[in-house]
A and B are shown apart, each in its own frame.
Chain A
Amino acid sequence: MPRERSRPGSDVAWALALAAVLAVVAVVFVARPFLRDPAPASDQLDELAPEARQRLALAEERDRALAALKELEFDHRTGKVSDVDYRAQVGPLRRRAAEALRALERGEQPGHERSPDHGQRVS
C-alpha cells in the first residue's frame, strides 16, 4: 500500500520556499562578478593580441618539432626507423625546432601582452 502523503498545501509551501532560497542563492552567485568588483579599472575581456597569437603558433610549432624529434629518436631506437631514414629526417626536424625557438626568442620583448590563458590549469 502507498504510504500516506502530507497535505498538498504544505507540500507546495515548503517546495516554493526551497525554490525561492535556491533562486536567491543562484542570483547572488550570478551577480557575484559585479558585487565583488563594482567599479573596475577595466571591464575589458582579455583577448589574444595578434603578436600573442603569433607567439602561440610558434610555441605550438616548437612543441610539434620537439615531439617529432623525440618520436623519431624513439622509433629509431626500437628499429622502426632505419639509420638511413633517421639521418634523412633528423636534420630538417632539428632545423625546424631551432627556427621556432629562435623566432620565439626574437618575439620575447619586455612588457609583452600577457595571454588570457595566464595561470591556466590545463585539463
Chain B
Amino acid sequence: MAALGRAALLLAFGLIAYALIAGSYAAWKRRRRLALSAQNALIAAFPATLVAAAVLFVALGRRDLTFAYVAQHTSHKLPLGYALSAFWGGQEGSLLLWLLILSGYAGLAVWLNRRSRDLVAWTVPVFALVASFFAFMLCFVSSPFNVAPAPADGAGMVPSLQNPYMLAHPPMLYLGYVGLTVPFAFAMGALLSGRTDERWIVATRRWTLAAWTFLGVGQLIGSHWAYVEIGWGGYYAWDPVENAALMPWLAATAFLHSVMIQEKRGMLKVWNMVLVALAFNLSLFGTFLTRSGVIDSIHSFSQSPIGGWFLGFLVLMVVLSVALIYWRLPLLRTKTRLESLVSREATFLYNNLLLVALCLTILWGVLYPVLSDAVRGETRSVSKPYYDFFLHTFGLPLLLLMGIGPLVAWRRASLRSLGKTFLIPFGFAVITGVVLLALGFGSSWPGLLTYTFSAFVVASIALEFVRGRAATGSVVRLIGRNRRRYGGYIVHAAVVLLAIGIAGSSAYQTVREQHLRPGQSIEAAGYTLTYRGSTDVRGANYTGFRALLSASGHGEHFNLDPGMNDYAIEGPSNEASIYHDPRSLGDVFTKAQLVKGNVIDLQVLVKPLVNLIWAAGFVFVLGALIAMWPDAVEQRRLAARYAAGAVPAGL
C-alpha cells in the first residue's frame, strides 16, 4: 500500500517537473507539440496524485498503523468519519490535499482553456512551478507514506477536531486557498506571454469567484466549529491562522471588485495583477503559518522541518510576481483615467483601498511577534483591541460603501441624481439609528453604527431590486440579465447579516459566571438557569459529565447540558451547550466545569442575533452561485470576441 502511494507521488512529481521544464522551454521556443505534451503532463499529474490520496484514505479507513501518519493521527476507537478526516488533520496529509486540489484545478483550468494556446503555454509552467514545490515536499521532505512497525494503538485525534465541522472546514479552506492559484497562474501566464488583454480575466473569473466562495464558507464553518466546539463562547479570536485565511479572502474581495473596473473601463491593470499576486501569496503564507509553527496558534503544528522550505518558496513566489509585474509595466499601463471621484468605479476604488488597508494591518498584526523577536529579541504580540480598532476603522466605512456603491452611476454622478437616489436609504438609516439610540443601543457606538449603516445598505439594495424590477417587469428577468450585479447585491446582503450578527453578539452580549450547587440559579439578560444536578456520559472513545440545567426567559422554557468529555487517549475537552432562541435569533451559550463534588462553575453568555452570522453563510452561497452562473449571451459574445481574433462578431 505505502509503496503504491510513494510510487504514485513520485510519478506525479516527475510529471509536474516535466510540465515545468518542458513547458517553460516550449513556451520560450514556441514549440507547439512540446507545449501540448507539457500540458498533458500537468493534466496527468492529477490521476497520479489521486491514486496517492486514495492510498492514504484507505490506510486511514483501515487504521493501518504501519503508516506512521495513520498511527500519529488516528486510533482504533476513533470513529470512521474522523479517521478519514485525519487526511487533513496532519501536516503530510494537508500537503497531499494541497497537491490533489491543485493538480485537479490546474488540469481542469488548462483543459478548459486549451485553445488559448499562447496564454496556456505559459500558464502550464506557472501551475507546475507551484505544484512541483508541493510534490517535492511530499516525495522528499514530508511523506505521508513513511512506514514503521505498528504500535498497539495510534495517538488518536485532538478532541476538538472530533467534530462534524472538521469534515468540511479544512477541505473548504483548501479549495479556496488552492483555488487562488488559478487566477495567479493565468495572470502570470498573461504577463509571460505578453497577453495583457482580458483573456486571462475571462478564463479565471469563475475560478476566482469559486475560490473566494470556498474560502468564505470555509472560514464561516471554522467559526461555527470554534463556537460550538472550543467552548470559549466566541467564533473568531484573531488567531494568526484564522487571520491567515481572512487575508487572502480580503485581497480576493478587493480583486473581484477592481477587476470589474478593468472589464468596464479598461483601467487598473497593474493593480489587478498586484491583487491577484497578493491573494495567492497570502494563501501560501497562510499555509506556511499553519505548517511551520513559526507563530503560536491553536491551529498550528509544532516546529516542523518544512517551515524553511515554505519560507524559501514563498519568497521566491513574491520575488517572481513582483519582477514579472515590473517587467510588463509598459504593457499594463492604460490611458484611461477616473472621470470623477463620485462614480461607481471611484467607490470600488475606495473599497479596494479599505480592503487592502485592513488586510495589511492584519498582516502586520500577524507578523508583529516574529518581527519584534527578530528586532528586539522579545516576542510581543498584538491582541483583540488592535484588531478591533482596525476592524472599526476600515470595516465600518466598507459597510457604508456597500450601500453607497449601488446608488452611484458608472463614470460620474451629479449631485442632483445622488440626492434623489440617496433620499430613501439615508432616511431609513437615520430613522433606524435614532430609534435604536432611543432604545438604549448607544451603549456601543461601533454596534450602533453597524446597525445604522446596515439599515442604509439594506435599503439601498432593496431599492435597486425594486427599481430594477419596475424597469424589467420581473425579479427573475432582472437577475437573469445581470447575474454578477444582482448576485453581488445578494452577497452584500449576506455581509450585512454577518455585520449585524457580529455587532449584536459582541457589542451587546451579556456574560455571567457563578459557582452553583444543585437547585441554585443564575440570571443573565432575562434568562434564569437552574442547576438540577450532573450526570455521567459515555461515548465510543470518551467518558464525561453533563450539568443538567433547566432554563426560562423571554417566554421560552428549555434545557441545557454543558459539560466535559475525557477522551481515553487524547485528554479532556469542553462541551458547550447552546440554546438557539428563535425569537431573538440569539443564543444562550453555556459551559460548565466540575469544581468539587456536585458543584459546578457555570458560565452563561447571552449572544443576541448571533445566528444571523450562520444564516449569512447560506445567503452568501446563494449570491455567489447567482454571480457564478453562466450567462449564455455573455458566453457567446466572449467566444465570438476571442474566436474571431477580434474581428467584429455580428455587431
Which residues in A have some Cβ–Cβ distance to B below 8 Å?
1-3, 5, 11-12, 15-16, 18-19, 22-23, 25-26, 29-34, 37, 40, 42-48, 52-64, 66-68, 71-72, 74-75, 77-82, 84-85, 89, 101, 104-105, 107-108, 112-123
For B411, the chain A residues whose CB sits under 8 A away are 68, 72, 89
Q: How far is the CA of A63 from the CA of B277 in the complex (A)?
A: 27
For B648, the chain A residues whose CB sits under 8 A away are 59, 62, 101, 104-105, 108
Shortest CB distance A66–B (Å): 7
Choose from B30, B413, B467, B643 the contact partner of A117 (Cβ within 8 Å): B643
Q: A15-B7, A26-B11 are in contact. Are A32 and B40 (CB under 8 A)?
A: yes
For A5, the chain B residues whose CB sits under 8 A away are 64, 66
Shortest CB distance A99–B (Å): 13
B15-47 vs A, Cβ < 8 Å mask (1 yes, 0 no): 100100000001100111111110011011001
Whether a CB of chain A sits under 8 angstroms from the CB of B307 is no
In the A-B complex, list the 3 residue pairs whose CB atoms are closest, starting with the nearest.
A55-B646, A115-B645, A19-B7
Whether a CB of chain A sits under 8 angstroms from the CB of B416 is yes
Q: Are A119 and B11 in contact (CB under 8 A)?
A: no
Q: A30-B40, A45-B121 are in contact. Are A85 and B413 (CB under 8 A)?
A: yes
Whether a CB of chain A sits under 8 angstroms from the CB of B583 is no
Q: A-side binding surface: helix, strand, loop or mixed?
A: helix
Q: A48-B195, A59-B648, A61-B266 are in contact. Are A29 and B40 (CB under 8 A)?
A: yes
B42-83 vs A, Cβ < 8 Å mask (1 yes, 0 no): 011001100100000000001111100000000010000000
For A107, the chain B residues whose CB sits under 8 A away are 646-647
Shortest CB distance A117–B (Å): 4
Q: How far is the CA of A118 from the CA of B118 in the complex (A)?
A: 11
Q: How far is the CA of A108 from the CA of B646 in the complex (A)?
A: 9
Shortest CB distance B206–A (Å): 7
Q: Are B48 and A22 in contact (CB under 8 A)?
A: yes
Residue of B nearest to A54 (CB): B646
Q: B-side binding surface: helix, strand, loop or mixed?
A: helix
Q: Are B48 and A85 in contact (CB under 8 A)?
A: no
Highest count of chain B CB atoms <10 Å: which of A1, A33, A61: A33
For A12, the chain B residues whose CB sits under 8 A away are 3
Whether a CB of chain A sits under 8 angstroms from the CB of B410 is yes
Q: Are A30 and B15 in contact (CB under 8 A)?
A: yes
Q: Of B212-220, B517-525, B633-641, which binds chain A?
A: B633-641
Q: Are A118 and B645 in contact (CB under 8 A)?
A: yes
Q: How far is the CA of A42 from the CA of B609 in the complex (A)?
A: 66
Which residues in B have some Cβ–Cβ distance to A below 8 Å?
1-4, 7-8, 11, 15, 18, 26-27, 30-37, 40-41, 43-44, 47-48, 51, 62-66, 76, 109, 112-113, 115-119, 121, 150, 195, 197-199, 202-203, 206-207, 263-266, 407-414, 416-417, 420-421, 464, 467-468, 470-471, 635, 637-639, 641-649, 651
Q: Are A47 and B30 in contact (CB under 8 A)?
A: yes
Shortest CB distance A115–B (Å): 3
Q: Are B62 and A3 in contact (CB under 8 A)?
A: yes
Residue of A nearest to B407 (CB): A80
Shortest CB distance A100–B (Å): 9
Q: How far is the CA of A112 from the CA of B647 in the complex (A)?
A: 9
New contact pairs (13) apart from A23-B7, A48-B118, CB-CB < 8 Å: A11-B3, A32-B40, A33-B36, A45-B31, A52-B646, A56-B645, A72-B410, A80-B409, A112-B645, A115-B645, A116-B116, A122-B642, A123-B113
Q: Are B467 and A79 in contact (CB under 8 A)?
A: yes
Q: How far is the CA of A77 from the CA of B27 in the complex (A)?
A: 49
Q: Are A53 and B197 in contact (CB under 8 A)?
A: yes
Q: How far is the CA of A71 from the CA of B412 in the complex (A)?
A: 13
Q: Are A122 and B202 in contact (CB under 8 A)?
A: yes
Q: Are A40 and B421 in contact (CB under 8 A)?
A: no
Shortest CB distance A78–B (Å): 4
Q: A33-B40, A78-B467 are in contact. Are A115 and B644 (CB under 8 A)?
A: yes
Q: A74-B471, A84-B416, A85-B409 are in contact. Are A64 and B265 (CB under 8 A)?
A: yes
Shortest CB distance A22–B (Å): 6
Choose from A43, A46, A54 the contact partner of B117 (Cβ within 8 Å): A46
